[in-house]
Structure 1
Amino acid sequence: MGILSGIFKSRDKPTNRTAGSAYGFFLGSSTSGKKVNERSAMQMTAVYSCVRILSEAVASLPLHFYEYRGDGSKAKATDHPLYFLLHDEPNPEMSSYTFREVLMTHLLLWGNAYAQIIRNGKGEIVALYPLMPDRMTVDRDDKGKIYYQYYMTVDDAPTNQGKWVTLAATDVLHIPGLGFDGLVGYSPIAMAKNAIGMAIACEEYGAKFFANGAAPSGVLEHPGTIKDPSRVRESWTQTFGGSSNANKVAVLEEGMKYTPISISPEQAQFLETRKFQINEIARIFRVPPHMVGDLEKSSFSNIEQQSLEFVKYTLDPWISRWEQAMVRSLLTAQEKKKYFIKFNMDGLLRGDYQSRMNGYAIGRQNGWMSANDIRELENLDKIPAELGGDLYLINGNMTKLQDAGLFAKGSEGGEEENHEEVLELEESGSDGEQSGGENAVSERNNRRGKLVR
């Protein structure tokens, strides 16, 4: 298959271009003239912050492997080998946190995340190892089946350096990002290379501005003819160039005059441009500006709502990609009917302390939460069952709608008789306090019970 792979058209190379349409977005030089790729983009603070926020959020969420029970409930399948791989250690070299952080970083920068699935002789999954997206290609064979080719380097195995290794689709966990064909995702960095390139250019301009002594470039004018202008230029740069030489007093000889020709950064709206590009990058990754340090439009009244929207509209779609890709690649057809993989996002959706307590009180009073259910969500020890920790309580002044008219229905056809009997009971009850005592009261209660029934 490796020999014949060149005959068949490559599905895509996720590292440098998008395919599936009549045009392509190539990594490399942007309209600003700056080279943009995944690694150069990470040198931008806004890109680094967005990637770090999303990758750490996905890596820090609890990841569990569940099984369906016969009664419709679910339980953690701790005895299944995949539970340990996903929850604790996918391979002997890294933790579950590190594994998910690496794959999420790949997904955000290259648009794809790959991991090799290692199986034992029984076909059981024993390890998962991340693979670099820039060395992976996705192709189809002559029968239309997808297979993966991975380029090995000395970092992978010294014996396989410079070789292509072919992997079957069943041996690769592939999490694709947004794409045009549903099979391969495309790099957000490639899609937004012009916006990122402009941000890189603005940052480089600011660095060079301060490197040149925070003074605008200009022209040294001489009334006569200079025999060696390069020497004068180098002398001027050496004396007054660089931030360490800023604000030095220049002494001009022989009638020389310095004339600035560049506009100031304020006139060029340099700071506004840099700020806009930061928001532009945050918009690419759908990260709220306050999470990358822009608090201009954030306040104590709306920042909690923005955080909840981050979980709902930004993080949840990525989580769905992860869950469905893992189920598709790691479970057999029979296991998919019995098991499922789920991230626990309850901790991120919790509000402030007072809001949580009010919500718990509503659940407790309406009977769908017990004391132990609440304590488990708050990471507290359970109350023993004999002390009522698992009881479900409801308010006593509530009844079913179908039972609302039972008393009236029981008294139909004998309302007058019942009314007279009630009066008689009340009179006998008042006399009973003098003559009959407890026996009269007991007789009254028994007769009233018969009326109700």
Structure 2
Amino acid sequence: MLDALLAPFRAHLRAPPARPEAKASRTAALVAVLSAGRPVWSPRDTASLACEGFAKNAIAYRAVRLIGEAAASVPLVLMSGTEELTEHPLLRLMARPNPRLGGAAFMEALCSHLLVAGNAYVEAVALEGRVRELHLLRPDRVRVVPGADGWPEAFDYTLAGRTVRIAQETLVAGADVPPVLHLAVFNPVDDHYGFAPLEAAAQALDLHNASGAWNKALIDNAARPSGALVYGGTGTLTEEQFERLKGELEASFQGAANAGRPLLLEGGLEWRALSLSPKDMDFEAARNGAAREIALAIGVPPLLLGIPGDNTYANYAEANRALWRQSVVPLVRRVADEVSAWLAPAFGADLRLVPDLDQVEALAAERSELWKRIGSADFLTDAEKRAAVGYGETGRQ
């Protein structure tokens, strides 16, 4: 199983290292002066962040899935100049990047990696001089290896204690196509890795998760705050009496199954409940505030996640449109631009992938209003109207 997983990477080990280009940034050498040829470790633990945020928090999980699924539903069209291509090997590659993932699943996973880890890595596999498959690499297993010029010269992929170094040599003869594409969210304090949106919401995630654990503990303790047993008799309880009392309380009165069971006290014992309550702690408001912070850090209007107390959007339709315009569409455009710039040289043409927003149902009302406004502009010619709505003389622009 491990051999089959690592098979696509072995070809990179036998290939000669790429020759560095003469052009380079004047400041790049300073970036790599202390790390040339060695992996640069990410400043965060991506696996732990994904576990605590994506896997254990319902708000973060749903927000990431909401954007990922929406991005995967946007059709991509291939443009060559001003002409739209309906049949092309690049379109077939994007429709089925590899035998395991279809185009929509591939796009959803790629966008989700960017939201959870701040980084996404795509490996291209070539056969007979043509790019045949695209594979996603888990961000927590990938380390950037910067070269002497400061730019990544390789990527280390670690699995089961073994590391494979994927050199960024030319994958297709005559075309500048490196084997790995690294997409990263803007990070102002790191030269190689992106900044995960979940990391920005780390404090809110801790607060929201801790409030859930507090609720669970409250239910386990008969759904009420803790109290104190006060001994009103003379002297003190013996060690044997104390242990017997403690054992009886844990066995007969602790836990959800014993909620509401009457407590029978003897020997001068008195139960006094503590005055601290969830209301005193403003518990629910703090939990909802943390949920809003998580949603906003990822880029989802809180209204779409059922979080109360948010009046920014007048209604659900406006919030949904804001999700698409502020989060989904910019993300899809960026991914399409990056993939186009990476793979276009392998197909020998001036190609670019463009999201087809005309087929996005959530933006249909907005698009209809634009067409109506442009159509009623008598001072525009038909050609100018087509250009204004994103169409050239023969199709999309």
* Contact preservation (8 Å) 1:13, 1:136: no
Runs of 4+ with >4 A deviation: 4-7, 298-301, 333-336, 355-370
Aligned to 1:111: 118
Shift of 1:172: 0.7
- Structure 1 residues 200 and 262: CA distance shift in structure 2, 3 A: farther
* Cα distance change, pair 313–341 in 1 and its aligned pair in 2 (3 A): same
Amino acid at match of 1:167: A
Partner Cα distance (1:231, 1:301) in 2: 60
How much has 1:322 moved relative to structure 2? Answer: 0.5
Flag the 1:202–1:101 CA change in 2: closer, same or farther, 3 A. Answer: same
Q: What is the identity, as a one-letter code, of the residue corresponding to 2:223?
A: A
In structure 1, what is the equivalent of residue 62 of structure 2? 49
**Equivalent position SS for 2:155:** strand
Cα deviation, 1:217-271, whole Å, max 9, x if unaligned, reads 1222223413232332232122111122111111112121112235111111111
Q: How does 1:267-416 map to 2 (within 5 A)?
A: 267-294=280-307, 296-297=309-310, 301-332=314-345, 335=348, 338-346=350-358, 347-352=360-365
**Of the candidates 171, 177, 193, which is equivalent to residue 179 of structure 2?**
171
In 2, are the aligned partners of 1:66 and 1:341 still within 8 Å (CA)? yes
Cα distance between partner residues in 2 of 1:182 and 1:345: 33
Matches of 1:362 and 1:109, distance apart in 2: 40
The number of equivalent residue pairs is 340
Letter in 1 for 2:303: H
Give, in angstroms, the shift of residue 329 of structure 1. Answer: 1.7
How many angstroms does 1:301 deviate by? 4.8
User: Can you list the C-alpha shifts for 1:413-452, whole angstroms capped at 9, x where unaligned?
Assistant: xxxxxxxxxxxxxxxxxxxxxxxxxxxxxxxxxxxxxxxx
Determine the structure 2 residue equivalent to 1:378: none
Distance change (3 Å), C-alpha of 1:177 and 1:300: closer
Query: Structure 1 residues 334 and 82 mapped into 2: Cα distance closer, same or farther (>3 Å)?
Result: closer
Structure 1 residue 351: Cα displacement: 4.5
Higher relative contact order (CA 8 A, sep 6+): 2
* SS of corresponding position for 2:332: helix
Shift of 1:47: 0.7
Contact 2:144-2:156 within 8 A present in 1 as well? no
8 Å CA contact 2:122–2:136 kept in 1: the answer is: yes
**Which whole-Å CA distance do the structure 1 matches of 2:308 and 2:277 have between them?**
27
**Greater Rg over alpha carbons, structure:** 1
Shift of 1:95: 0.7
Select 2:225's aligned residue among 191, 208, 216: 216
Q: 1:108-147 maps to which residues of 2 (within 5 A)?
A: 108-122=115-129, 124-142=130-148, 144-147=150-153
In the TM superposition, residue 187 of structure 1 has moved relative to its aligned partner by 2.2
Rounded to whole Å, the distance in 1 between the matches of 2:286 and 2:312 is: 23
| Alignment root-mean-square deviation, CA | 3.4
Letter in 2 for 1:245: N
Query: Normalising by structure 2, what TM-score?
Result: 0.75
Query: How far apart, CA to CA, are the structure 2 residues paired with 1:11 and 1:191?
Result: 24
Once residues 50 and 368 of structure 2 are traced to their aligned partners in structure 1, the CA distance between those partners, rounded to angstroms, is 45
Q: How does 1:186-265 map to 2 (within 5 A)?
A: 186-222=195-231, 223=233, 224-228=236-240, 229-261=242-274, 263-265=276-278
Distance verdict in 2 for CA 1:100–1:231, change over 3 Å: farther
Structure 2 SS opposite 1:235: helix
1 CA distance for matches of 2:150 and 2:122?
22
The aligned residue for residue 13 of structure 1 is 41
Tell me which residue corresponds to 2:194: 185
